[in-house]
A and B are shown apart, each in its own frame.
Chain A
Amino acid sequence: MSPPLLEVSNASKIYAMGGLLSRRRFAAVADVSFTLEEDRHEIFTIIGESGSGKTTLARMILNIVPATEGTIRFRGVDLATIRKRADRLAFMRQVQPIFQNPFEAFNPLKRVDRYLYMTALHFTDARTADEVRAKADRALRQVGLSLAEVKGRFPHELSGGQLQRVAVARSLISSPALIIADEPVSMVDASIRMSIVNLFKALRDTLKVSIIYITHDLATAYYISDRIIIMKKGEVVESGNAREVLAHPTHPYSILLKNSVLSPDPSRRDELLAPQFSSTEKDIAALR
């Protein structure tokens, strides 16, 4: 039996804070375990408010930040054992990131297509300029753009939605098995947000990529996820089938999170009553 695509077992990331005498330990990620299977292509969502450790977990899976405890295995390889450049490149070829803010992910002084070419040179067998361009164009077509639209452009010449599509295209060049998308739509305009979200769905279905989708937005999570974990203060408080968990959360924090989502329905606006705030704050204090 082949090893799972990604196996996170009891992974923790503990930061030590303070000076020599007053050292405090702070667990950004505490004892998280989950497994993504090789042949079940799914959108796996990590939900949590800011400071819940979801980005740290993403960075651990990308092998940017080492886990202090526990192991993360990708196709059976422990990430902590990846030392050589060749191994690292082989890992990066299979696991690709998409970041939150496309305007920060791309250097404003460099042309956008350069990122596509560099990725193609590093992670594929393309060697000639024509091959590299063909790879970039194929990836861009998968996200509904073409090289002609992007060629020679600087980030400021593209809209946020287009730029985020280029970021997705870049991650597709190496034909990865896993894409880690950290809040990919929170900086994208409302009218374009759903087309990016739909794009992730299409990638899962047509290209057979597994996607780890990190977000704080329960509504889009409900819309695209297959499985979900909810994180609070570094710990997983609830996990399972996305629709079931979000429809009937059981952990008090998940319930609080769900109740905090504003319904886009003016007839239910009276739920927004002032006294609710103090109780919400008390709830948070109690949970912490």
Chain B
Amino acid sequence: MTAGAPTTVGAAGQGVAEAPQPQPVLRVSDLSAFYQTHYFGIVREVRAVDDISLHVLPNEIYGLAGESSCGKTTLIKTIAGAIQPPLNVVGGSVKFDFRGQSINVYESTPEERNAMRWQHLSYIMQGSMSVLNPVRRVRHSFVDFAFRHIGRSMPDFLDTVVGHLERLHLRADVLDAYPHELSGGMRQRVTIALATVCRPEFIIADEPTTALDVVVQKGVLAMIRGIQREIGSSLLFVTHDLSVHANLADRLGIMYAGHIVEEGPTAELFASPRHPYTVHLIGSLPRVGDAAPKKGLEGVPPNLADPPPGCRFHPRCPLAMGICSRETPVMEWAGPGRRVACFAAEKGITA
């Protein structure tokens, strides 16, 4: 990274934090959601989302990073209110505020939640093939998902859809195609169109480009950002790929084993990561043009059914101290807009 870059982008990042605080669209407080089973008298508990707090501002892209089985998908399912046993919310709250119309997901009725979905809150999923019905034309998916939320006559609705598809550089005839007739990139753009056609205030995107080719991925990301800026919604973007976050997210939260361990404006987080896990993730990114030796992290991600005591990262942490195996660090403010959960970072030690 060049010396000048962090300051310029850092200033923009601070702008997000210090501007007259607009009301967050999403406020998650102390949320815990566990998978709980008790068969034959044996109780098992997988703490996939453990005491997570975060907020997302209007017109902001919040990136959520973390490796597989760290609880990313469980977190966004819980935020969307799309949970089924054995996944249960144990504590905390999820509150949305859609331009004055607020809803507390776990104190609302199923009808209220259904009315909220798609009109205010939509979801771009990873596997476009499993979102679109393979035996029906794309048109039917649009009618199924969005028709009743838009509340216009069918010809009017289809006109809206065609106009919206044009924004994603898709021609109207994709509506008459079956999903298997489209390429992967086109299919993913159709699911993006599906999620944005009602101009929702909040969009959740779960690894939307992971299954795509490199050549297509960049274009699809640009398109997601373009449409997000255009309709002015907030985006919660989940992927394990930090290069994607570097290019897209305004703020970034790093998840490890059910906790958010670090959060901050993307540029600052990349320039000066505090948590040893973040330091490792950013330091080990391979780049074209850089052949310096990079290290992998030793050890294995913890089993969430039986997490290590104290800080869940301490068995793999290069900075582990005595306190790390006894107490769980809490997320603390570390500079404007930044939070970190680490005893070493608190003392100013960095990896």
Spell out A's residues near B (CB within 8 Å). Answer: 49-50, 159-162, 189-198, 216-220, 222-223, 243, 246-247, 256-269, 271-274, 276-278, 280-281, 284
Contact = CB atoms under 8 A, between A and B. Distances in A.
B218 A280 contact: yes
Most A-side CB within 10 Å, residue of B242, B246, B270, B291? B246
Contact of B215 (A189, A260, A263, A271): A260
A157 to B, nearest CB: 10
Contacts of A195: 295-298
A interface SS class? helix
B242 A284 contact: no
Contacts of B287: 219, 222, 263-264
Contacts of B284: 190-191, 193-194
10 contacts: A189-B240, A191-B281, A193-B284, A193-B296, A194-B296, A197-B286, A219-B287, A222-B290, A260-B217, A267-B6
Contact of A274 (B213, B223, B281, B285): B223
A160 B267 CA distance: 30
Contact of B291 (A243, A258, A280): A243
The 8 closest A-B pairs by CB, nearest first: A195-B296, A274-B226, A267-B5, A277-B219, A219-B286, A189-B67, A194-B296, A262-B243
A258 B222 contact: no
Contacts of B277: 191
Given A49-B214, A190-B242, A198-B295, A261 B219 contact: no
Given A190-B241, A219-B285, A222-B290, 17 more contacts: A159-B301, A161-B300, A194-B286, A195-B298, A198-B294, A218-B214, A218-B288, A246-B288, A261-B243, A262-B221, A262-B244, A262-B247, A269-B248, A271-B247, A272-B218, A272-B225, A273-B222
A83 to B, nearest CB: 38
Contacts of A197: 286, 296
Contacts of A222: 286-291
B218 A278 contact: no
A265 B270 contact: yes
B297 A191 contact: yes
Interface in B1-25: 1-2, 5-6, 8-9
A220 B295 contact: no
B234 interface: no
A266 B243 contact: no
Main secondary structure of the interface of B (DSSP, over half): helix
A189 B246 contact: no
Given A195-B296, A263-B243, A274 B222 contact: yes
A267 to B, nearest CB: 3
Interface of B: 1-2, 5-6, 8-9, 67-68, 169, 184, 213-215, 217-223, 225-226, 240-244, 246-248, 266-267, 270-271, 277, 280-282, 284-291, 293-298, 300-301
A262 B294 CA distance: 19
Nearest to B6: A267
A190 B281 contact: yes
Nearest to A199: B296
Nearest to A242: B291
A222 B285 CA distance: 12
Nearest to A256: B215
Contacts of A216: 213-214
A276 B297 contact: no
A266 B169 contact: no
B218 to A, nearest CB: 5
Contacts of B271: 266
A198 B298 CA distance: 12
A258 B214 CA distance: 9
A216 B212 CA distance: 11
Contact of B246 (A220, A223, A262): A262
Contacts of A256: 215
Given A194-B294, A219-B288, A266 B218 contact: no
B266 A266 contact: yes
Nearest to A246: B288
Contacts of A258: 288
Given A198-B295, A276-B219, A281-B169, A191 B6 contact: no
B222 A276 contact: yes
Contacts of B293: 198
A197 B219 CA distance: 28
A195 B240 CA distance: 17
Contacts of A280: 215, 218-219
A14 B248 CA distance: 41
Contacts of A276: 218-219, 222
A254 to B, nearest CB: 11
Contact of B247 (A190, A196, A220, A269): A269
